[in-house]
Amino acid sequence: MALRRTFAGLLAVPGLLLAGCGGDSSVADPPVRSSPTSSATSGPPAHETAEHFIRRWAEAEKVMENSGKTASYAALTSGCDACDKLIQQVERFYSRGGYIHWDGLTVLSVRPSARQPDGTVVFSVRTNSTPTKYKDSASSSQKTLGGGITRELVTLRHRDASWVVSSRARVSR
């Protein structure tokens, strides 16, 4: 159950949020929907909103969990303890011969929650996570996480022309 909470808390994205660059509106106009063909390794658009970034981050999380390759996801975070723990968990599973099979998140909504004095912006992100099948080592039995609706508080800060995730925390239902 602890692993389920860890995955659910760490998998909700991401992912996950919205705010415009500069002084623009924090909502993409028109709102952006996840695309099953989007690439997690693509760079940010010239004027990437926070919501665009969160959706790109969520896709990078899906790719990381299914491949064990953490660099692209890690590049989208900075100082995020929960993100670092997820990276370590994924690396541990794969280094022991385990795996994660997960179809990712659907970002249902991204709402600005608070703007901090240091320029970071906190978003409330509601997602629907698909079920997960995983083995934490080659010799372990396969386990399943049911998936479902989650809500997270995701903190973003500007970096260059885009964003980075500086923290994330699951909100209990």
pLDDT per position as a tens digit, 66-75: 999 999 999 9
**147-150 LR contacts (CB < 8 Å, sep 24+):** 148/8, 149/108, 150/8, 150/9, 150/11, 150/12, 150/126
For residue 46, the model assigns a pLDDT of 62
Nearest to 149 by CA among 131, 163, 129, 166: 129
Number of domains in the chain: 1
Residue 122's identity, in one-letter code, is V
pLDDT at 168 over 90: yes
Packed helices 2-11 and 81-95: angle between N→C axes, nearest 10 degrees: 120
Residue 38, exposed/middle/buried by CB under 10 A (0-12, 13-18, 19+)?
Answer: middle
Q: Please say whether the dihedral angle defined by the alpha carbons of residues 68, 11, 114 and 117, taken in this order, is positive or negative.
A: negative
For residue 112, the model assigns a pLDDT of 95
Average pLDDT over residues 103-117: 95
CA pair distance 26, 48, nearest whole angstrom: 11
Question: pLDDT confidence of 173, banded at 50, 70, 90?
Answer: low
For residue 91, the model assigns a pLDDT of 98
For residue 126, give its domain range: 2-170
For residue 160, the model assigns a pLDDT of 83
| pLDDT mean across residues, the chain | 81
Q: How many CB atoms lie within 10 A of CB 166?
A: 21
Q: In this predicted structure, which of 31-35, 61-65, 166-170 has the lowest mean pLDDT? A: 31-35
Q: What's the CATH number where 149 sits?
A: 3.10.450
pLDDT tens-digit map of 139-161: 999 999 999 999 999 999 998 88
